[in-house]
Chain A
C-alpha cells in the first residue's frame, strides 16, 4: 500500500505562482487552507521587545483578504496587548496530515470580538483539527483538550497579510511565496 503523500515547499510555491486572485485578494487555495482546521499559531513582539507565541483556535477569511484569527482571551492577554500596542504579526497554519505549513505576516493587526455566526464555523474547524489529531495518534481526550475553547472568551485578531511563506518541511522551506 502506498504511504501518505506529504506536501512540499516547491508544491506550495507552484500553487501560489499559478493562482490568479483578484488584485488585493488572497489565492483561493490559501483561503480554503487556513479555514480547514489547521491549528493556527500567532507570533508577536511585546512592547518590551521580546517574541511571544500563542496557539489560536480557528481562522475565518473576510472579503478574501482579511484573516480573522480567534484566540482565547484569558490565555493570551499579553499577546492581545502586544497587538493593541502595534506589534507586527505572524501567523502559521499547519495541516497535520501532510505537514503543509504556510506562514503569513502583516505589519499590524486589529482586535475585535467574534460575531454569533463565527461560533459554528469555529466549532467546525476545531472538529476537523480534532479528527486530524486522532489520525496523528493523539488519544481522544488529548485531541479534545487540544481543540477545546471557551466560546464566551474569544477575541479576534484581524489583519491583512502582506507576505506569505512556505514552511512545509523540505528543501525550500521558509521561502517567500511570490508570483
Chain B
C-alpha cells in the first residue's frame, strides 16, 4: 500500500467529485461506471454504496474485486485503490451513515427516489497508487482544528456544573470551531431527544423535541454514530415527522403546540454527533450550515472528540457533592396576580394557564417542586433530593437530572415565565415565583400535545 495511507485520502472521499469504478465479470469483461460515494471506513477499508442489482453488483458477487479512482478536490491529486470485497451490510451504523449521505447526494442531483441504498459493500484496500500528484495546496480556510479543539476543551474544563458545561460547549463551537449554528440535545429514556440550548438561532428552542430516528439527529442517537451530510434531503428534515406522528395518533386537530425546533429554514450541511458515556447515548451535538459540504472528515473528528469530552464531564459533574455559592439574595414577596399551573399526569406536560411549558421528566420535576412549595412554602431545593425521589421515575444516571433541570430553567427563562429557577450553588437551586401559583392536576385529561 502507498506510504500516504488511506486516511490521507479522506478528502477525496467527501463526495465533492464523483469517483470511478471498474469491476470484471468471471470471463474478464470489464464494467466501468461513475459512483457517487466512496466511504472511508478505517485505515484499511472503504465502503461503496450498493443501490441497484446491476452488472457491477453481479461482478462483485462473482469476483469480489474492484478498482476505484479518486479525485481530491482540494489537492487535485488522483489515486487508484485496489479493492477486495469483504462483506455487505444492510443495517447498522455504517449503513445509516451512508444512507443519509446518499439521500443528500441524490437530492442535490435531482435524483431523489432513484438512489436508494440497498447495502454498504465493505472492501479491504489491497493497494493505493498515485495516478496524478497533488497540484494545489489546501487553502487555509480555517484555524487549525486541533488548536481550536484545545481551546474548546480549556473552556469546558472550567465548568462547575452542567449548566456551565452546556454554555461552554455551545460558545466554544461557535467561537473556536467557527460553526455558527449549533444545538445541544439530551436524550430521554425512550429514545426521544430534547434541545437544551443552542447558538445561532432567533430562539433557543430549549425543550424542542426530536423523535427517535428523526433526521440526522435521531439517526445519530439511534445508531450511536456521527451522521454528516453535505446536501440535505427532504428525508432528513425536521418538524414534519413530529406533527405527522401526532396527527396520525389522533392527538392533534391542529398544529402541535410544542416548542418549535430551532433549526435553519434552508440548511444544506448538517452533522450530528452522539454524546456517549459508558456505552450510553447522553445526547447529540448538532451543527448545521446554509453552505453545501460545510463539514468534512476533520470537523467530524473534532466534534466527536468534543462530544466524548462532554460525555465524560457531564457524568462527573452530576456526581459532585452539593456546594452552596456565595449568598444570593432572597426574592421579595410575589405580587398579587395568580397563574394556574396545570399538570397532565399522562405525559407530565405542564401548562402555565393555557400555554404549554414543558413535559416529560422536566415537567414532573416542576410539578413536584410546585406541590412542595404549595404545601410547605419551601423555595430552596437540592438536586440530591430530586435524585432520591422515586416518584419522579428518573433514569439511573445523574446527568439526566442535571440536563432536565437546565432545560427547565432555560425554558422558564425563554418564556419569561411567572416563575423561575435560580441556581444557588452546585446541586442547589431556588424556585422563584413572581406571582401567586394555583395548582390544578388534570387527572386523566389529555393535553393537546404532540405524542
- A residues contacting B by CB (< 8 A) are 3-4, 6, 39, 41-45, 49-55, 72, 75-76, 78, 87-92, 94, 99, 101, 103, 105, 137-139, 141-142, 145-146, 148, 165, 167, 169-170, 173-174
Known A3-B110, A53-B32; contact A90-B22, beta-carbon cutoff 8 A = yes
* Residues on the A chain within 8 Å of B114, using CB: 169-170
Q: Are B65 and A51 in contact (CB under 8 A)?
A: yes
Is there contact, CB below 8 Å, between B30 and A51? yes
Q: In the bound complex, do residue B29 and residue A173 qualify as a contact, i.e. CB atoms below 8 Å apart? A: no
Cα–Cα distance between A170 and B110 once the two chains are bound (Å)? 11
Bound: A89/B63 CA distance, A:
17
Are the C-beta atoms of B76 and A6 separated by less than 8 Å? no
CB–CB B30/A92 < 8 A: no
Known: A94-B34, A174-B52. A53 touches B111 (CB 8 A): no
Q: How far is B55's CA from A41's CA once the two chains are assembled, in angstroms?
A: 16
Q: How far is the CA of A45 from the CA of B111 in the complex (A)?
A: 31
Interface residue stretch chosen among B67-75, B145-153, B319-327:
B67-75
Give the CA-CA distance A105 to B21 in the complex, in Å: 15
A91 to B78, CA, bound (A): 19
Q: Is B329 an interface residue (CB 8 A)?
A: no
Provided the pairs A41-B20, A51-B22 are in contact, do residues A103 and B33 lie with their beta carbons within 8 angstroms?
yes
Is A145 within 8 A of B55, CB to CB?
A: no
4 additional A-B pairs beyond A51-B24, A51-B59, A142-B16, beta carbons within 8 Å, are A39-B34, A50-B82, A75-B132, A90-B30
**When the two chains form their complex, are residues B68 and A53 in contact, meaning their CB atoms are under 8 A apart?**
yes
Known A49-B28, A88-B29, A92-B32; contact A146-B20, beta-carbon cutoff 8 A: no
With A6-B110, A169-B115, A174-B52 already in contact, the answer to whether A92 and B73 are too (CB < 8 A) is no
A130 to B: closest C-beta gap in Å: 13
B: residues with CB less than 8 A from A are 16-17, 20-24, 28-34, 52, 54-55, 59, 63, 65-69, 71, 73, 76, 78, 80, 82, 109-111, 114-115, 129, 131-132, 135-136, 292
Q: Cα distance A169–B136 when bound, in Å?
A: 32
Contacts of B131 in A (CB 8 A): 54, 75-76
Say whether A169 contacts B111, CB under 8 Å: yes
Kindly name the residue among B63, B110, B292 whose own CB sees the greatest number of chain A CB atoms within 10 A: B110
B347 to chain A, nearest CB (A): 42
Q: Which residues of B contact A167 (CB under 8 A)?
A: 33
In the complex, which residues of chain B have a beta carbon less than 8 angstroms from the beta carbon of A88?
28-30
Complex contact B67–A90 (CB within 8 A)? no
Q: 17 pairs across A/B with beta carbons < 8 Å?
A: A45-B24, A45-B29, A51-B22, A51-B66, A53-B67, A75-B132, A91-B32, A101-B34, A141-B76, A141-B136, A142-B73, A146-B17, A146-B76, A169-B114, A170-B111, A170-B114, A173-B52
B30–A44 contact, CB under 8 A? yes
Q: Which residues of B contact A165 (CB under 8 A)?
A: 55
A53 touches B21 (CB 8 A): yes
Residues of B within 8 A of A91 (CB): 32
**Which one of A76, A103, A105, A142 has the greatest number of beta carbons of chain B within 10 Å?**
A142
The 3 closest A-B pairs by CB, nearest first: A43-B32, A43-B22, A53-B22
Residues of A within 8 A of B30 (CB): 43-45, 51-52, 87-90, 105
In the assembled complex, the CB of A82 is this many whole angstroms from the nearest CB of chain B, namely: 9
Task: Report the Cα distance A121→B54, complex, angstroms.
Answer: 34
Residues of chain B contacted by A44 (CB below 8 angstroms): 22, 30
- Whether A174 contacts B78 in the complex (CB less than 8 A), given A53-B68, A146-B17, comes out as no
- The answer to whether B31 and A52 have CB atoms under 8 Å apart is no
Nearest B-chain residue to A4, judged by Cβ = B110
B29–A145 touching, CB < 8 Å: no
Q: Report chain B residues within 8 Å CB of A101.
A: 33-34
Interface centre among B22, B73, B76, B129, by most chain A C-beta atoms within 10 angstroms, is: B22
Contact of A51 among B23, B110, B132 (CB under 8 A): B23
- A79 smallest CB distance to B (angstroms): 10
Q: Is A138 a contact of B34 with CB atoms below 8 Å?
A: no
Chain A residues, CB < 8 A from B32? 41-43, 53, 90-92, 103
Assembled-state Cα–Cα distance A43/B20 (Å): 9
Docked complex Cα distance between A23 and B68 (Å) = 36
Contacts of A103 in B (CB 8 A): 31-33
Known A-B contacts A90-B31, A137-B292; the reply to A53 vs B20 at CB < 8 A is yes
Q: Are B135 and A145 in contact (CB under 8 A)?
A: yes
- B292 contact set on A, CB distance < 8 A: 137
